[in-house]
Amino acid sequence: FKCQCYYRNGTEDVRYLKRWMYNQEEFVYFDSDKGFFIPRTELGRSDADSWNKNPDILGQER
């Protein structure tokens, strides 16, 4: 996976993205602005659905 932080307005507003890749293609990512996992392909749909239903995983990412 790959993590990225985008700083807006100095350090007051930070956007965190965590991206999971397979075969050089992103299949699911977590966006701190939205607060949940977003599938990018069918491969990522089941992971995103499962992780979004788990409050422990969501809490860890937030």
* Residue that has been written with the tokens 């491969």 in this structure: 43
Of the CATH numbers 3.50.7.10, 3.90.79.10, 3.10.320.10, 3.30.420.40, which one belongs to the domain with range 2-61? 3.10.320.10
The model's confidence at residue 58, banded by pLDDT at 50, 70 and 90, is: very high
The residue ranges of DSSP E strands in 9-44, in sequence order, are 13-22, 25-31, 36-39
Give the whole-angstrom CA distance, residue 10 versus residue 60: 24
Spell out the domain ranges in the chain. 2-61
pLDDT in tens, 42-52: 999 999 999 99
Mean pLDDT of the chain: 91
pTM: predicted TM-score of the whole model, two decimal places = 0.84
